[in-house]
A and B are shown apart, each in its own frame.
Chain A
Amino acid sequence: MKYQPVIGLEVHVELKTKSKMFCGCSADYFGTEPNTHVCPVCLGLPGALPVPNRQAIDWCRMIGLALNCQLASFSKFDRKNYFYPDLPKGYQISQYDIPFCDKGEIILSSDKKIGITRVHMEEDTAKLMHQLGISNFHFPKETTFPISNKEKYSLIDFNRSGVPLVEIVTEPDFENSQEVVEYLKKLQQIVRYLDVSNADMEKGDMRLEPNISVREISNLKSQISNELPKYKVEVKNINSFRFVEKAINYEIQRQGELLDKGKTPIQETRGYDEVHNRTVSQRTKEEAQDYRYFPEPDIPPIRISESQISNLKSQIPELPTEKKNRFIKDYGLREDQAFQLVETRKIADFFEEAVKIGKKFGIEATAIANIMINKRVDWSRMLPAELVEAIVKSKREDLPAMELENIISEIIKKEGSAVTNYKRGKSGSMEFLVGKVMAQTKGKGNPNQIRQKIIEKLGEKS
C-alpha cells in the first residue's frame, strides 16, 4: 500500500545571551568545569526568585517576527511539571497557552508554506550522564561513559540548567524528509542572520524532534483526506541534518510495514540510534502526558506595546530571502549565484563591500561574484579591498599583446621541425609549441589564446 507521511517538527534553539534565562550565571557552559555556572536559581533551591532576561525575550520575539508570526501583546510564563533529575525544581519554566509568538510560516523553495504554530521561551535543563551498566544504546549528547563496574547511576551537571531556549513548533505540514531538511537549514540560517544563536547542532545549540505518522494515500481523495493519523511517533536524539533525514526515512518505512500488516503503530517516543541507523522505542505513552501547567506565580506577566513591536521590527536585519532577491535585482546575479552569496551575512557583506570598491576600478559585480563562488582567489582570509586588489593585479599581469607576439615568433623560428610536423597534420606538435611559449612567459597568458595566436601566425607565413 502507498502511504503519505505527515510530519511536524519541534526545534529548540539555545540563545547566545551572556547570562542565563532567570539568573545572572554565565550561559556559556560549553566545555566548562561541571557545576561552576550555577546559583540557587538554576539549582532550583527553595526561596530563589527567577527574574527573566529581557534580551532573551526580545530575541525570542525577533525569531517570531522573522518567521512572520503574530506577537502576543499580553503573555506570561507557566510551570510545566514533570519529575526528572535534570529538572531540579520539579518543573520547567515554559509558556503554555499564551506564547510570545504564534501563527507564522516559512516558505520552501517549492513555494510550499510550512506553518509555524508557535514560538515560545523556556529554560534548558541540566545535563545528565548515565552509567547504565549496559551499553545497548548510544546517546550522542547525554553521553554514556565507559563501564567500570556493575553499579548503575546518573551524574548531573547543572551548568546548562536555565540557559535560554526558544522552542519553534510547526504544523504537521511536511510530507518528506527533504522538506524537513530544507526547513531546518532555512531556520538555522535565519537565527544566525539574527545573530541570536550559533545554532550549531553538534554542540546542541539547535535540537530537533520530528513527530512522524503516515496515512494511506487511498484515503486522500475521500472526504477524510485532511484527517490526521490517530497516532504519532516522536523521535529524539538527532544531532545532524543528515541523521534527521535518515531517522525520518526509517520511521516512514517502519510505520508503513506495520500498517501493511494491518497493525497501527503505537504512539510513543523513540530514540535515533546513529550507529545502526534505526529508531528504538524509549518510552510508550500509556497515559497522555500530564504536565499540569499553571501560571508561574514568581514571574509577573509580560506585556508589549505596538511601539515596542515596531522597535523590534526595526532591529531585524535583511533576511536571506530578501537579500537574495535584492542581489539578483541590483547586481544582475543569477538565482544560484545569489543563493550562494547570501549563505551567511559575513559572505554577503564581503561581496557587497568588494562590489563597492570594485566599482572604482571598473570591475563588474558579476565578475566578483564569479571569483568568490569559484574560489579562483582564496578570499577567506582577505579583506574585500584585498580581493579587489588581487583582481586588479591579475589583470595588470596579463601579458602585453606585443610581448606575446614576439615570444611566439621567436618560438616558431626556433622550433622549425615542430612547425613542420604540425603542418603535416601532427596535432600533438601544436601542444608542444604552446608549452614552449608558456615556458617562455613563465606561465602567464591563456593557453587557448596562445594556441589561437600560433595558428594565426602560421597561417600568415604559408
Chain B
Amino acid sequence: MAKFDIRHTAKLANLGLSSEEEEKISRELEEILSYVNKLNEVDPDLIGVEPTSHITGLENVTRPDETSPSLTQTEVLQNSKNTHNGMFKVPAILEDL
C-alpha cells in the first residue's frame, strides 16, 4: 500500500502539523488503514454478506416538510469569539484574489 500522504490530507483539512505530529499521525493513520484493509481479504460470497455502507438495515428515514422553531440569534452566536452585526466574524478568506 502506498505511503499515506499526511501533508496532503492535513492541507485539505486546514491543519498545521509539526514534523513530530506528522510522523506520529501518519503512523497511526496507516495502522488504521491497514486494519480496515483487512476487509478486502474477505470473500463476500463465502460469508454471504453484501458490502454496505449502513449496518442498521434502515431505509427511507425522512421527515415531512414542516418547520420547527430555530434558535435565537443570541443563542446561535453565544459561543463565538468574534461577531459583527449578528454574524460570525472569521479571519479573511479569498485573500489570494
Contacts and interface: CB of A to CB of B under 8 A. Distances in A.
Contacts of A57: 62
Contact of B92 (A18, A131, A158): A131
Given A132-B95, A152-B95, A290-B12, A52 B70 contact: no
A19 interface: yes
Contact of A300 (B58, B67, B69, B70): B58
A34 B53 contact: no
Interface residues of A, number: 60
Interface in A244-302: 280, 282-283, 287, 290, 292, 294-295, 297, 299-302
B61 to A, nearest CB: 5
A137 B97 CA distance: 8
Contacts of A39: 68, 70-71
A159 to B, nearest CB: 9
B60 interface: yes
Contacts of B68: 19, 23-25, 39
A302 B59 contact: yes
Interface stretch (A83-91, A173-181, A202-210, A432-440): A83-91
A133 interface: yes
Interface of A: 17-19, 23-26, 33-40, 43, 51-57, 76, 81-85, 90, 128-134, 136-137, 152-158, 280, 282-283, 287, 290, 292, 294-295, 297, 299-303
Contacts of B88: 35, 85, 155-156, 158
B54 A34 contact: no
Nearest to A290: B12
A76 B54 CA distance: 10
15 contacts: A33-B73, A34-B86, A35-B86, A38-B70, A51-B61, A51-B62, A130-B92, A136-B97, A154-B90, A154-B92, A155-B85, A155-B89, A280-B97, A292-B12, A300-B58
B54 A295 contact: yes
B64 interface: yes
Contacts of B3: none
B1 interface: no
Where chain A touches its partner, the secondary structure class is loop
Contacts, number: 145
Contacts of B76: 35-36, 38, 43, 158
Given A24-B67, A38-B76, A137-B97, A155 B87 contact: yes
Contact of A153 (B67, B90, B97): B90
Contacts of A292: 12
A17 B60 CA distance: 19
Nearest to A34: B86
B62 to A, nearest CB: 4
Contacts of B62: 51-54, 57, 302
B53 A128 contact: no
B84 A17 contact: no
B19 interface: no
Interface of B: 8, 12-14, 53-54, 56, 58-73, 76-77, 82, 84-97
Contacts of B14: 83
A134 B90 CA distance: 17
B40 to A, nearest CB: 16
Contacts of B82: 153
B86 A90 contact: no
A85 B93 CA distance: 8
A157 B85 CA distance: 10
Contacts of A156: 87-90
Given A129-B87, A152-B95, A283-B96, 14 more contacts: A18-B66, A19-B66, A19-B68, A23-B68, A25-B70, A35-B73, A35-B86, A35-B87, A36-B76, A38-B70, A134-B97, A152-B92, A153-B89, A292-B12
B70 A36 contact: yes
A90 B77 CA distance: 19
Nearest to B97: A137
B29 to A, nearest CB: 13
A85 to B, nearest CB: 5
A23 B66 CA distance: 9
Contacts of B73: 33-36
Contact of A54 (B63, B72, B85): B63
B16 to A, nearest CB: 12
Contact of B13 (A83, A295, A302): A83
Given A19-B66, A130-B92, A155 B71 contact: no
A132 to B, nearest CB: 6
Contacts of A129: 87
Contact of B12 (A23, A81, A155, A280): A81
A301 B85 contact: no
A34 B86 CA distance: 6
Given A17-B65, A33-B73, A38-B76, A85 B90 contact: yes
